[in-house]
Structure 1
Amino acid sequence: MARSFNHPAVCDISLDHVLHALSDPMRRHIVQKLMASDSMSCIQACATLPPSTVSFHHKVLREAGLIRSEKKGVEVINTLRRQDIDERFPGLLEVVFPPGLNSPS
């Protein structure tokens, strides 16, 4: 049986959790990559990190309400919940990731 993921409802997304999730440079890197694409597997986001570390970062982002994860075969595909974040905190992603911002290392 495929593992299901828990995603908070829009009304349950808290600013504290979102800011905590975005406080880590690797998680900001993941979000920035997702902003530039429709979706991405966990491996595509951070191919150089150990799988357990990648999984942890995606879990933090998912539980904060920033991403939606869906199991497709053996991969987990992630999408940015941009519309939900914009609805809950208008302009937040543009402030954290202004246009032209280079990807963090």
Structure 2
Amino acid sequence: MPANPRPELSHPGIDDLSLVGVLHALADPTRLTIVGTLTREADGRACGTFPVNVAPSTLSHHFKVLREAGVIRQEERGNRRWTWLRTAELETRFPGLLQAVTDEGQCM
């Protein structure tokens, strides 16, 4: 059986999320675009399909920052990595934060 060439993804538990970490992750325009896109995609989205103009390696970095901060969840689906927003978990931990960030016109 061939080994998966990608390392297993880790996601912090809801109690491990920090407001500073989440805000840091959301402080970048590309990451805000990713989050804004995911707010309109309840079923998530494949990683290579986001409306951003960055190199694939840079996009991977942005996903890693968002994932490690607890903003997104990712999983392997076949040969694609699927990404979705941890909306309910973030709302539980930091009520109103995602709505405040996305309602400010930051995520178009």
What's the CA shift for 1:73? 1.5
- Cα distance in 2 for residues equivalent to 1:60 and 1:24: 10
State the AA in 1 paired with 2:44: S
* Structure of greater Rg: 2
Match in the other structure for 2:59 = 54
Contact kept in structure 1, 2:32 and 2:106, CA below 8 Å: no
Match in the other structure for 1:72 = 77
Please, what TM-score do these two structures have when normalized by structure 1? Answer: 0.90
What's the CA shift for 1:74? 1.4
What's the CA shift for 1:103? 3.8
Matched-pair identity in %: 42
- Cα distance in 2 for residues equivalent to 1:64 and 1:31: 13
- Cα distance in 2 for residues equivalent to 1:79 and 1:6: 14
Asked if 1:17 corresponds to 2:18, the answer is no
The 3-state SS of whatever aligns with 1:8 is coil
Q: How many residues align?
A: 103
Label 1:17 to 1:80 Cα distance change in 2 as closer, same or farther (>3 A). Answer: same
Match in the other structure for 1:94 = 99
Q: Please report the RMSD computed on the Cα atoms of aligned residues, expressed in angstroms.
A: 1.6
State the AA in 2 paired with 1:33: T
What's the CA shift for 1:48? 3.2
**Structure 2 stretches lacking a partner, 5+ long:** none
- Cα distance in 2 for residues equivalent to 1:91 and 1:19: 13
**Structure 1 stretches lacking a partner, 5+ long:** none
Match in the other structure for 2:12 = 8
After superposing on structure 2, the runs of 4+ consecutive aligned residues of structure 1 that deviate more than 6 Å are: none
The 3-state SS of whatever aligns with 1:5 is coil
